[in-house]
Amino acid sequence: MLNNKIIISYGDQAREMVKELLAEINIEKNLNKDDLIALKPNLIKAAKSETGATTDPNLVKGIIEYLKEKGFSNIIIIEGSWVGADTENAFKKCGYNKISKEYEIPMYNLQKDNFKVKNSKGMDIEIAQKALEVDYLINLPVLKGHCQTTITCSLKNLKGCISNKEKRRFHRRGLHKPIAALNKVLSQDLIIVDGIYGDLDFEEGGNPVKMNRLIAGSDPVLIDSYAANLLGYSIEEIEYITLAEKFGVGKSNIEQAEIIEINKDKAAHIENKTIKIKKLTEKVEAKEACSACYGSLIHALKRLNEKGELDKIKGRIKIGQGYKNIDISGIGIGNCCLGADNYVKGCPPSAKDILDFLRGEFIE
């Protein structure tokens, strides 16, 4: 069991990275050969993972290959896209039909499944029967923003396991309590967060931020608390996280977690082309910046922009390996910029760390 561990692999080669993660976790110790193992990606709509909306199919390939190499063959893929989207089309457009055919893995459209009613915290919730039948559920959410709940990660990704009627009811109930209650009656055994691309603030994608990481754990409350911090939010700002902890789903104390980084990001960031992200980074001077570090900075700047503080930053912001071992003027982001007049520590720092640093020193 991972318990309070969070294991991170940096990079953008999901297929190889996830195999390293699974070997580090030693997942086979927690499985029986005949267990029904379900992979639950986030396929909210028919959109490529590079848009920041959906789970990278290479992540799923890597998991299947690893499990099959270890002798596990009873594997399925389950998902139910959001109301108004066709799951079958999402399977096809996102590359999952090819995976199913290549690896002989059945896929189940949970929008068309039978549903069982489970009561949790005073609410009756319609949950897909197939999701309840599995022996081992691997949740594969995307690390991204959300227009209503601020972020979406492991806790909210289980919403794909309920009926369309229930999804509508979740929205009428305000999302937060139903999400927390759902996780009390539908448990996930392993979480592997796709944090390679994730949208800046919208679950449908369109403003992808390259964060270059996979994050693994078994406690969805802890994983989502860590995710919130990465995106520049305190745990208290995400109501369903605090409710899930109150309901006994998991623990949110990141400070007590054992965080294991099995490598460091080496890939230089891809220039972000969207108008929104270009606006956020007008004061940034990047030289050979890793995507993991640059992505955190973008999320921090987004938070400042929401508060009307972006234009109040005093000075230029420097980031990247190109600033290593030299004295630089201005604000430094990450350990590569320790030669700056002032810099925030971390390799990479979280968006919350950057946000607190900028607000403490450099906002007029």
User: What pLDDT sits at residue 309?
Assistant: 93
Residue 119 has pLDDT above 80, yes or no: yes
Structural domains in the chain, CATH included, are 5-261 (3.40.50.11440), 275-361 (no CATH)
pLDDT higher than 70, residue 271: no
pLDDT of residue 209: 94
- Structure tokens that stand for 280 in this block: 């956020």
Six-digit token string for 188: 């996930």
Averaged over 171-186, what is the pLDDT? 97
Whether the upstream peptide bond of residue 348 has omega within 30° of 0, thus cis, is: yes
> 273 pLDDT exceeds 90?
no
Please give the pLDDT value at position 360. Answer: 84
Angstrom distances, CA of residue 158 to CA of 32, 39, 40, 154, 164: 23, 11, 8, 7, 13
C-alpha distances out from residue 182 to 78, 128, 168, 244, 319, Å: 17, 12, 14, 9, 41
pLDDT bucket at 315, cuts 50 / 70 / 90: confident
Considering just the CA atoms, what is the radius of gyration of the chain in Å? 20
Share of the chain above pLDDT 90, in %: 92
Residues in the chain: 364
Quote the DSSP letter at residue 320.
S
Which SS3 state, helix, strand or coil, does residue 270 take? coil
pLDDT of residue 281: 94
Look at residue 272 and tell me whether its pLDDT is greater than 80.
no
Place of tokens 């990606």: 41
- pLDDT at residue 113 greater than cutoff 90: yes
pLDDT digits (tens, 9 = 90+) for 135-162: 999 999 999 999 999 999 999 999 999 9
Residue 225 has pLDDT above 80, yes or no: yes
Beta-bridge mates of residue 108: 78
Lowest-pLDDT choice from 157-161, 216-220, 276-280: 276-280
Q: Quick one: average pLDDT of 218-242?
A: 97
- pLDDT reported for residue 160: 98
**CA 257 to CA 6: how far, in whole Å?**
7
Query: What does the alpha-carbon distance between residue 336 and residue 28 come to, in Å, rounded to a whole number?
Result: 38
> Distance (Å, rounded) from C-alpha 279 to C-alpha 172?
34
Alpha helical stretches, state H, 247-336: 275-280, 291-306
What average pLDDT does range 238-246 have in this prediction?
Answer: 98
pLDDT in tens, 71-109: 999 999 999 999 989 999 999 999 999 999 999 999 999
Q: Work out the end-to-end distance of the chain between its first and last CA atoms, rounded to an integer number of angstroms.
A: 47
* pLDDT band per the 50, 70, 90 thresholds, residue 231: very high
In the prediction, which pLDDT does 364 show?
A: 64
Rounded to whole angstroms, what are the CA distances from 3 to 9, 10, 11, 75, 268?
Answer: 18, 21, 24, 24, 33
pLDDT score of 8? 98
pLDDT in tens, 319-364: 999 999 999 988 999 999 999 989 999 999 999 999 999 998 777 6
Q: Write the pLDDT tens digit of every residue in 245-263.
A: 999 999 999 999 999 999 9
